[in-house]
Chain A
Amino acid sequence: MNYQMSAAERAPQPGGVADMPALGAMSSYRLPQPGARPLVFSGSELAMAMSFTPELPYWYELNVYRTREQTFVLAIRQFFQSEEQTDIVKAWAFDSLPDLFDRLETYDAGADVRTPHLDLERSAPAELAAAAMDLKSRVIAARTHFAGLVGEFFAQIDAAGNGPV
Chain B
Amino acid sequence: MQAAPEPVFEATISPLLIALLRGSSGTGAEPAGHATVTRGSCPGDAAGDAPPPAVQLTLRRDGERPLRFDGTLLWCDAQTIPVDGSPSASVQRQVELYRCAHGGVVARIVFDPSEGMAARPVFRAAEIASPEEFRQFLDRNGARDCFAVAPGHHDSRASADLDLLRGPHRTVPPLSPIIAELEGSRT
Contact = CB atoms under 8 A, between A and B. Distances in A.
Contacts of A112: none
Contact of B148 (A101, A140, A164): A140
B154 to A, nearest CB: 12
Contact of A151 (B22, B36, B60, B68): B60
A105 B62 CA distance: 9
A10 interface: no
Interface in B8-41: 8-18, 20-22, 30-31, 33-34, 36
B11 A48 contact: yes
A150 to B, nearest CB: 5
Q: State the majority secondary structure of interface residues on A.
A: helix
B58 interface: yes
B120 interface: yes
B164 interface: no
Interface string B59-77: 0111111101000000000
B144 to A, nearest CB: 10
Interface stretch (A29-37, A39-47, A84-92, A118-126): A39-47
A148 B14 contact: no
Given A145-B149, A151-B60, A163 B21 contact: yes
A48 B31 contact: no
Contacts of A56: 5, 7, 149-150
A151 B31 contact: no
B123 interface: yes
B133 to A, nearest CB: 21
A106 B18 CA distance: 22
B173 to A, nearest CB: 30
B151 interface: yes
B16 A151 contact: no
B7 A53 contact: yes
Given A24-B16, A144-B62, A151-B61, 9 more contacts: A24-B14, A143-B63, A144-B145, A152-B11, A155-B11, A157-B18, A158-B66, A161-B22, A163-B18
Interface of A: 23-24, 44-56, 59, 64, 66, 97, 101, 105, 137-138, 140-141, 143-165
Give the top 9 A-B pairs by smallest Cβ distance, nearest first: A147-B63, A161-B18, A55-B5, A49-B11, A156-B11, A46-B17, A144-B148, A152-B9, A151-B62
